[in-house]
Amino acid sequence: MARNGVASWRRRSSDQSDDPSPCGSEDVHVLAVDDSLVDRKVIEHLLKISSCKVTAVDSGIRALQFLGLDEEKAAGDFNGLKVDLIITDYCMPGMTGYELLKKIKESSALREIPVVIMSSENVLARIDRCLEEGAEDFIVKPVKLSDVKRLRDFMTRDVGDRVRSDGEGTTHKRKLQESSDVSSSSPSVSSASSSSSSSSSLPTTPSRSPSPSPSVSLSEPSSPSPSTGSSGPCSPSSLESPTRRLKMTSCCD
Partner 1 sequence: MLGWGVDFLRAEMNRLLALLFHQGVLDEQFLQLQQLQDESSPNFVSEVITIYFSESEKLLRNLRMLLMDRELSDYKKMEIHLNQMMGSSSSIGAKRVRNVCVAFRAASEQSNHAGCLRALELLEHEYCYLKNKLHELFQIEQQRALASGVRYPAQHD
Q: What SS3 state is found at 45?
A: helix
Among 42, 75, 109, 124, binds partner 1 (CB under 8 A): 42
CB 150 within 8 A of CB 213: yes
- Determine the Cα angle at 53 with ends 43 and 81, to 5°: 125
Closest to 212 in 3D by CA, of 192, 227, 229, 230: 192
Per-residue binding letters, 146-175, with partner 1 (x by CB under 8 A)? ------------------------------
* Distance, C-alpha 15 to centroid of its chain: 22
Among 32, 39, 130, 182, binds partner 1 (CB under 8 A): 39
Nearest-approach distance from CB 127 to partner 1, in angstroms: 17
Nearest-approach distance from CB 83 to partner 1, in angstroms: 23
Nearest CB to partner 1, comparing residues 147 and 220: 147
Select from 56-64, 95-103, 139-147, 228-236 the region that touches partner 1 (CB under 8 A).
139-147
Q: Is 109 in the site for partner 1 (CB under 8 A)?
A: no
The pairing of strands 115-119 and 52-57 is unpaired
Among 25, 26, 123, 142, binds partner 1 (CB under 8 A): 142
CB 89 within 8 A of CB 97: yes
- Residue 29: phi and psi, rounded to 5, are -105, 120
Tell me how long the chain is: 253
Q: Is 208 in the site for partner 1 (CB under 8 A)?
A: yes
Q: Which amino acid is at 132?
A: E
Q: Is 1 in the site for partner 1 (CB under 8 A)?
A: yes
The residues of the shown chain that bind partner 1, judged by CB under 8 A, are 1, 35-39, 41-42, 45-46, 49, 89, 91, 93, 120, 141-145, 208
